[in-house]
Chains A and B, each alone.
Chain A
Amino acid sequence: MTDEFDMRLRKRLNRLAAAVPVEPANPSLDVHTQRPEVRGRVQFGAFATLVLLLIVVAGSGLFGGGRSNGDAPVGSMTDGVFRLTIRAPKDHFRADEAITVEALVEFVGGDKSIDVWSTPDVVGFGVEQVGGPHRIAPVSRLSCGRFSFPSGQAERYPFVKSGGFYPEMPDADFVKAYLNISGNVPDPVLRLPAGTWSIFAVTDLAESDCGGTVRHTLHAAITVEVDEGDVAIESPWASLDTAAPSSTPSQEPYRTFPGVCPAISPSLNQCAGFAAWAVGKSGVTPGHVQRIEMTEAQCPGDSACPTGAVGYVVGVHIVTDAGTSSDQLVNCTRVPESLGGINFLCAEVVTIPGGRPVGYPSMRSPISGGYHDVPCAGPAPENPCATALPPIEPSALSESRPLTIRSVEIPIDHVGAYSIDLGEATLPNGILTAASAEVTSSPTDPLASYDGYALNITSLDGGPPFENYYLHGWRPGVEHVRVTLSFTVLSFQPGAAVVVANVDVH
């Protein structure tokens, strides 16, 4: 019975949906038990009027003498590999008083040391009003670096004030006051208005690389009481209508990629990732890109990038060989915790979620996985349904000549599209049985190709493309074909080369 089946299916789907491990978007702040703030990557998206500030406080040795007294609050969390601790010298402050906080990160995993990847800040700090509406989650710089933690040696991270807001955000005034934005001179010292506050630290350390799936994400918090201060001071909380930053950086001129990269990005690979993303978004066919230009752009929308903004916006101008052009913006400002995390495009090691770094060689060939030319339940590769190849005549087989190349090196001397003639082959009865090759290059090579490498088989006898057996058809004798390798280079360094190996077309 359909109804009965549907009812059972609904129950089972419900159970399955309920089992999905969803991390809370906005967890409460019980020490030791909550998931951390720092979230995974977020896809690229223009978030027009976001303003982000990161203010670094110089290390001050506040805790050099150890715990100051019995009221010094300490919070910590460990996952068995790392321990994150946050502490303050006391738990009562005045509203006009600087609140001194620091975090400690310690490797407790047992080995001598461990290397992990993280944003340069390693630890982010935020505050939340206990029983109140105010909450500020930390933001961090977007680049990613490698950090070594010796066992048993706690690394200290002084409090760093950071936060993000967009003008329409309900709590924007509070965030601005917290950051004490006035004339673009943020106050790095933590001061809070009267009330009970949770001050928390978060860290997100990845093993193996910046986007590593083995992660140590920790969250630790302390609670402090803030009383009304006795002394009248120039407090940021006195006026919550502090003016928003008003500086408008001048627009830099566009310069040609990849020469512009050092001025745009800390990493050539990241810069190439911007170009790749922009070309993909523009819809311009890669082979028709004549040149790419970039500039450090202004934040889109009404709000300009403030001095010291976390992240940046890159304008990409793509010019085609037909003389047309397309403009794209790469927005590397970071969005609030509730709306995102690290933008993979903006990391120094540009990676695609669940995939490979941009520039990692991948090979496409016309019959990868077989001809896809029979009715399928859905698109391949989700629903592969390759056609069985028809028998090949022995006479045609003996007349055919495969193309096999053990290795060939292709020097790279320009940015743009490449089409390399690898040679010719003859196919028995016009049937392409195999077309494969390997490209050896590494993700760290200066070479970047966002669309991978394609092995193209073209008939020299006027035959149709080799994408569909029924359309291509069977023919008596042999069919002559030309084999080319095509790819697009977005950046390279002198001496760069692509090595193509084990070419096999028959």
Chain B
Amino acid sequence: MQGAITPVISDVGSLDEAVRDHRPWLVRRLALVVRDVNEAEDLAQITFLRAAERWPFPAGQDVARWFAVVGLRLAIDERRRRKRWGFLPLRDSDQEWAMATDPDLWRALGGLDRRTRAALVMTTLDGYSQDEVGVVFGVPRGTVASWLSRGRTRLRADLESHR
């Protein structure tokens, strides 16, 4: 599966290496969730800064999973933070790369909220279970199932209307 998370266990000890290895897929995942490459890059950087504060990770730590969990949590929290501060109109503008690749899917994803997009990306693209997604966002499995069900229904309707 192209671009899927490959578990990398922290035993090498080089943060630079980990950043180099994991940054591309992390930015890609976050860009799908937050719909903005620049913001995705910012979130990835914050994730790596958080990692730097904790590095080296304990032996056996799944580095990729840690990055994914922290990055996606940040993607949700950042939204909350910006809203709380109240002066930030967030950009949900169409991005050229997305419009050139799959405009229908891009627009359809835009109809979902961030959490649902994140859950969808994690489960569909990276094979996370609903339980694992629930742990990431601090909600019960049933809530995740509900997000996914509604998200899929809406996506399906949006995508089929463009057929």
Contacts and interface: CB of A to CB of B under 8 A. Distances in A.
B106 A339 contact: no
A65 interface: no
Nearest to A354: B91
Interface string A328-355: 0000000110111100000000001111
A408 B4 CA distance: 58
Contacts of A21: 37, 97
A472 interface: no
B88 A355 contact: yes
Nearest to A277: B85
A22 B121 contact: no
A41 B42 contact: yes
A338 B23 CA distance: 10
B25 to A, nearest CB: 8
Interface in A342-376: 352-356, 358, 360, 362, 364
Interface residues of A, number: 57
B14 A20 contact: no
B86 A382 contact: no
B3 A340 contact: no
A383 interface: yes
Given A16-B101, A19-B98, A20-B31, A356 B20 contact: no
A447 B117 CA distance: 39
Residue of B25, B43, B124, B150 contacting most chain A CB atoms (<10 Å): B124
A63 interface: no
Contacts of A26: 16, 19-20
Interface string B29-53: 1011000111111110110111011
SS class, residues of chain A in contact with chain B: loop
Given A5-B152, A354-B90, A451-B87, A339 B48 contact: yes
B64 interface: no
Contacts of B1: 10, 14
B161 interface: no
Residue of A22, A43, A336 contacting most chain B CB atoms (<10 Å): A22
Contacts of B23: 22, 25
15 contacts: A9-B155, A10-B125, A14-B3, A17-B125, A18-B28, A20-B97, A42-B45, A42-B46, A43-B42, A45-B53, A168-B15, A168-B55, A339-B45, A339-B48, A358-B87
Given A16-B106, A335-B49, 19 more contacts: A9-B152, A13-B32, A17-B29, A19-B100, A20-B27, A20-B28, A22-B24, A23-B41, A25-B20, A39-B41, A42-B45, A42-B46, A47-B52, A170-B14, A336-B16, A339-B48, A353-B38, A364-B86, A451-B85
